[in-house]
Amino acid sequence: MFSSPTVRVSFLFVAIALVALVFADVAITAANPWKDLGRFFMGIVTPDFFSSEGVALALLRTVAFAFVGVALGGLCGFVLSLVYRNPAVRMFCAFIRAIHELFWALIFLQFFGFHPLTGVLAIAIPYAGIFAKVYSEIFEEADPTPGRLLPPGTGVVSAFLYTRIPDCWVQLRTYTAYRLECGLRSSAILGFVGLPTLGFFLESAFSQGHYSEAGAMLILFYVLIATMPLWVKPKLLPVYILGAPFFLGEGLPIVWGNVERFFTQDIIPSPLRNGEGIGSLMPWLGDVMATEALPGIWNTLVLTQIALVATGLIALLTFPLISNHFGGPVRRTGGHTFLVIARSTPEYILAYILLQLWGPSMLPAVVALALHNGGIIGHLIGRQSSAIDLRPDAATGFNRYTYELVPRVYRAFLAFLFYRWEIIMRETAILGILGIYTLGFYVDSAIQNIQFDRAMMLILVTALLNIGVDALGRFIRKKLALQTMPTC
């Protein structure tokens, strides 16, 4: 068994997670967590859909921000994908997608304020980098034969439109629809920084102990995600995209002087801004690294590695819930419901809820990251396992799981897991805004203290860390010859 490279790598990551667990702050610190958890679940089963007049408007604006942000990101990403082979373009796209949507929102809030442009750009910019990468991979995998059959003298643009686009259309459409679902989750959590989406009302309901109201919001959000195939129709997309900007709200007017000051003064390192000279820059940078960046990097890595392994365990345990090779239709329906809830709940919202119930530690973050990402991978692996044909005399029960299915889906499982490694890292960093001592905690503290130069330096560190983990994940997938598959 240990002669297999995939098994050796798996045990290596499990060992790293166990070591990280020794250094992690994993505890339940709330005085009465089970009582609070019971009140929360009671709110879920007794939702109050009419408690707040703003819930319907919040859902509408959540959808509006998602459509505008994803549409703008998709358009820019498509253009960038055409020149993605350029190393400078690849690095640019890697950088912008390495910064989480909430970090982008915190940046734009400093000079755009609570204007709809803040939310739209916070979604569109990282999504443009993601779209560019995935669209480029889809175009590269397209069959080149139709292009060779074109008559001589056919223009490059015409050849692309008439051969490459039709061949890739199904993949482009499928991935864009999937990214729209991700956009809805991103739009929802923007409310936690003050934008008028679902997260804003959810945070307000929880802070006041209105669990039935919070439960109603979560249920409506799940219904919104689950019914997307019913209301997101190709013929209606132009109507949605053209109409969405009118439902973003007006917000506060933009003060362009703040924009100029942000780029010419606020983000300039304080030694240079105060005229202390270039010699004082290194001590300032050393202080940022020693007191904020390095502790944030350490906690981010510790939490990421624990959450990565926990994600894998949940995915392996849950994919049989929807596999055709286990149970009957009733069980699979229940499994689908559980995985839809798990993957539809943004990690940030789930971590916020668990922090309110269990108190501040890394445990809520680990559980939130593992449930969300494990739900996504479990759903994908479950669908893949259903397509496997078993022999008539194949083992049943637990032996079917361990000896028949897991070995046959394990390489795909690792491919998905290492693909999401960088995504888990991005989410781990941003969860610091909730009070966990990852990089996001120090970014948020610097912004609260009006130290935008330190905040931008820490965001840059976060982006470089994510790029490094993404590169390492690609290296491991390549060494193990794992097929890469884009996921949200």
Taking the C-alpha atoms of residue 371 and residue 365, their distance in angstroms, rounded to an integer, is: 10
The 8-class DSSP code of residue 278 comes to G
Closest CA to 301 of 416, 470, 428: 428
Predicted pLDDT of residue 5 = 86
Q: Which phi and psi angles does 301 have, rounded to 5°?
A: -65, -45
What average pLDDT does range 266-280 have in this prediction? 85
Range with lowest mean pLDDT among 1-10, 285-294, 330-339: 1-10
> Is the predicted pLDDT of residue 123 greater than 80, yes or no?
yes
The 8-class DSSP code of residue 257 comes to H
Counting DSSP H helices and E strands in the chain, the numbers are 25, 0
- Given a contact cutoff of 8 angstroms between Cβ atoms, the answer to whether 212 and 327 are in contact is no
**Which string of DSSP letters, residue by residue, matches 355-391?**
HHHH-SSHHHHHHHHHHHHHHHHHHHHHHHHHTPPPP
Q: In which band, very low, low, confident or very high, does the pLDDT at 426 lie, cut at 50, 70 and 90?
A: very high
Closest CA to 268 of 395, 432, 455: 455
Predicted pLDDT of residue 445 = 94
Predicted pLDDT of residue 486 = 46
> Is the predicted pLDDT of residue 2 greater than 60, yes or no?
no
Taking the C-alpha atoms of residue 169 and residue 392, their distance in angstroms, rounded to an integer, is: 38
What are the structure tokens assigned to 129, written together? 């980098």
What average pLDDT does range 320-332 have in this prediction? 85
- Share the mean pLDDT of the chain: 87
Q: Which phi and psi angles does 196 have, rounded to 5°?
A: -80, 55
**Which string of DSSP letters, residue by residue, matches 392-408?**
TT---HHHIIIIIIHHH
Taking the C-alpha atoms of residue 240 and residue 485, their distance in angstroms, rounded to an integer, is: 29
